Amino acid sequence: MVTQPVLIEKLSLQQMESKPLRYTSSGDLRVGLVVPTIRPATEADLPALDKLATSATHDLLGPFLSAEQRASCLVFTPFDPWLITDGSYFVAELDGVVRASGGWSRRMAMVHQPTDQTTCPDPSGPARIRAMYTDPDYARLGLGRTLLAVCEVSARLSGHFELELLATPIGRLLYLSSGFETLESVEIQSEDNVFFEVFRMQKSFSAAMAT
C-alpha cells in the first residue's frame, strides 16, 4: 500500500492567530505544522538581511531611542558582510522568507567596522554574538532565542568557552533570560557623533561542558 504524501498548510502569522488547526480524519498532526528552517547565511541573503536589520532597528529598537538616535542608528548599524564570510552567521526562514538572523564571530570588533578583519589572538577566546535581528511581525515567537542557542552550540563546538556581546536595551532582556550577565553599561559613538547606551554582557561555560 502506497501512503499518499501529506500536504502541510502554509499559514501566515495572522492566519495562525485566527485559524484553528484542522486535522485529517486519520489524526495526522502534520496538518497546520509550521517549522522554521535554520541554515547558514549566504551572500544571496544580503538584500534580505539589510531589509531585516532596518525594520528590526526601526520598529523594535526605535521606541527606546530619541529621534536623533533613530536617524543615526540606521546608518550606524548596517549588516556586517564579514559575518557571512566567516561562515558563522545564521538565518531562520519561514516559507522561504528570512524572518530572523544572528551569528557569532572570532573577530575583535563588537560592532560593524567595515575595514576591521582582525581576529582574536586566542582562537579559544571569547566568541562575540553579533547582529541579532528579528522581523517585527514575528517578534516574541522564539526565533531570536532559537538562533542564539544555535550560535552558542556552534561557538562551543568550535572551541570557545565564553560568549560576549553588546546588548541594546531591548536585547538585554533576551540575553539575561538566556544566562548572560551584565558586566557594564557603555556608550558607543556613531560617525555623526550620536551616542548610544549599550550593555556589555558575558556568558561562560566550563571546559568539561564542551566535551
Q: pLDDT for 83-104, tens place per residue?
A: 899 899 999 999 999 999 999 9
Assess if residue 7 is contained within a domain: no
Assess if residue 98 is contained within a domain: yes
Alpha carbons 105 and 126: distance in angstroms, whole number:
9
Assess if residue 147 is contained within a domain: yes
For residue 114, name the pLDDT band (cuts at 50, 70, 90): low
In tens, the pLDDT along 158-178 reads 999 999 999 988 899 999 999
* Residue 76 clears pLDDT 80, i.e. is over it: no
Number of domains forming the structure of the chain:
1
**Residue 101's CATH number:** 3.40.630.30
Angle, to 10 degrees, between the axis of helix 169-177 and the axis of helix 143-157?
A: 60
Assess if residue 173 is contained within a domain: no
Q: Which residue has the higher pLDDT, 181 or 3?
A: 181
* Domain extent at residue 98: 36-164
* Residue 144 clears pLDDT 90, i.e. is over it: yes
How far is CA 166 from each of CA 7, 37, 40, 100, rounded to the nearest angstrom? 43, 26, 22, 18
* Residue 119 clears pLDDT 90, i.e. is over it: no
Q: Which residue has the higher pLDDT, 189 or 152?
A: 152
**Average pLDDT over the chain, rounded to whole?**
80
In the chain, what percentage of residues exceed pLDDT 90? 47
Residues sharing a CB contact under 8 Å with residue 84, sequence separation 6 or more, in sequence order: 41, 42, 43, 45, 46
Assess if residue 125 is contained within a domain: yes
Assess if residue 186 is contained within a domain: no
Assess if residue 10 is contained within a domain: no
Alpha carbons 108 and 166: distance in angstroms, whole number:
12
pLDDT of residue 19: 41
* Residue 210 clears pLDDT 60, i.e. is over it: no
Average pLDDT over residues 11-21: 43
For residue 13, name the pLDDT band (cuts at 50, 70, 90): very low
Assess if residue 91 is contained within a domain: yes
